[in-house]
Amino acid sequence: MVERTGAADIPEAGGMSEPGDSPRFTQSPDPTDPFADPVRFIDERTASAPLLRTAMGYLFPEHWSFLLGEVALYAFIVLIATGTYLALFFDPSTAKTVYHGSYAPLDGQTMSNAYKSVVNISLSYKAGLLLRQTHHWAADVFVASIVMHLMRVFFTGAFRKPRELTWIVGLMLLFTAFLEGYLGYSLVDDLLSGMGIAIGYGVGLSIPIVGGPLMLGIFGAPFPGNHDFWSRMFIMHVFLLPALLATLIGVHLALVMARHHTQFKESERTTNKRIVGLPLFPAQTFRSLALMLFVVGILFLLGGLVQINPIWQWGPFEPWQGTNGAQPDWYLGWLIGALRLMPAFDVTIGHYTLIPNPFWGGVLLPMFVLGVLMTFPWVERFLTGDRAVHNLADRPREHPFRTAFGLSVLTFIFIIFSFGAADRLYVLLGISYQAQLTVFRIAVFVAPMIVFAIAHRICRELQIAESLDRAHEQVAQLNVEAHEMQAESSSGG
């Protein structure tokens, strides 16, 4: 007969009583009294000591660039906290109402309950504007710090074996954050965000075959949809996507801890198999707490002092209204830029449209960029044949191809992003939109190639300069030794 059950001893505690522990823990007056020895009390009930001991000993790299991901983490905490406050007052309803609130210019206007509640949060409720603006700033900083963190990881090759899964989870986080941010400012139902939803609907509709049914399913009815759509957006923004983000953050951090950070070879002590850094407790804990207070402080300063998205000025949205100079939040600027930059090109057969234009800029471009980033660890492995485990972070110059490729992709996206603001550039610089379109359409292909060539060259030059420096040092060292030998032999003779 096959034994299906297993047997094991139940540990009395997680490890506080192991031999070799300090007497402080083993000689407590009364191990059942939570106040006399709280550490032991908790350990006996959670068996958490080994886990905590490992965690507290986790070594963090010292370099500042490893804190960018933590900035994102703390921005996320601010988002949860401020978002919870906003959700207490927000009304996700598209039912129409007439505004008679404290803001006179909107008095008597018909608007949705959603928009009205955000105007009231901004202008009538205590600390409402501070928390709404802090929420908005935190979202912008959240995505910005993820992008910075991604650049650090990319340019130092930290995505390589054994950290490919961490890289993929991080990319999922970034693209979920795009969607979460978009839904967040769209919920307000002001004129600006309403245009954004219209575009989102148009882009979704453009997906071949499934676009129409998919958008009808999400919106409940042709644009602007029915009340179900607002309920769906709301539950996505305040529950499903935050839960997904929190889960992805948890998995991301667990993977980081499991395979450890990479680190720069800052001294001879650091090798591919040996970590040198600050332990989680006490060193990194206080460094990180200070960073958290700094991030929270900066975000609240921004929220209190720097106006962002003054929705009472935009007015309520109606599908037949639009305004000039509309711009999304920064992290979607590359998508509006792509929609504007793309030539008028629909795939058609006779009078039937197969693939409408918004598909190229709104769906294909982000999918393409995501695909390139997701597969890059394997593409690089294929190109270099390097299958080794890498725990040391490269300096960007050490991999000219990767650095040049990354910079050219960034240039490509930055040029598309910039064209998203071409109407603003016209107001600023006086160069006509049409002329800019021509220049940007050429630059979007030429500039990345130029950047690639220059970056590749600079990396090579830096490498050569360094090896020359090392050679000079060796020669100088040899000269010194030769002089010493000469001096010895002359004094001896």
Partner 1 sequence: VVLHLDARELKMPPGRSGWTPRGIVAYSKICTHAGCAVALFRKPTFPTVEPQEALICPCHYSTFNPFTGGTVTFGPAGRPLPQLPLEIDAAGHLRAAGNFSGRVGPGWWNVREQPTFRKRAV
The site for partner 1 (CB under 8 A) is made up of: 195, 198-199, 201-203, 205-209, 211-212, 215, 222-223, 319-326, 336, 339-340, 342-346, 348, 351-358, 361-362, 423, 432-434
Q: Which is nearer to partner 1, 82 or 357 (CB)?
A: 357
Give min distance, CB of 336 to partner 1, in A.
7
Q: Which is nearer to partner 1, 46 or 348 (CB)?
A: 348
Give min distance, CB of 208 to partner 1, in A.
5
Give min distance, CB of 203 to partner 1, in A.
6
Q: Which is nearer to partner 1, 184 or 356 (CB)?
A: 356
Give min distance, CB of 166 to partner 1, in A.
36
Q: Which is nearer to partner 1, 345 or 382 (CB)?
A: 345
Give min distance, CB of 212 to partner 1, in A.
5
Residue of 250, 294, 262, 297 lying closest to 62 (CA atoms): 262
Identify whether the C-beta of residue 73 lies closer than 8 Å to the C-beta of residue 296: no
Q: Which is nearer to partner 1, 294 or 345 (CB)?
A: 345
Give min distance, CB of 432 to partner 1, in A.
7
Give min distance, CB of 435 to partner 1, in A.
10
Give min distance, CB of 224 to partner 1, in A.
10
Give min distance, CB of 328 to partner 1, in A.
10
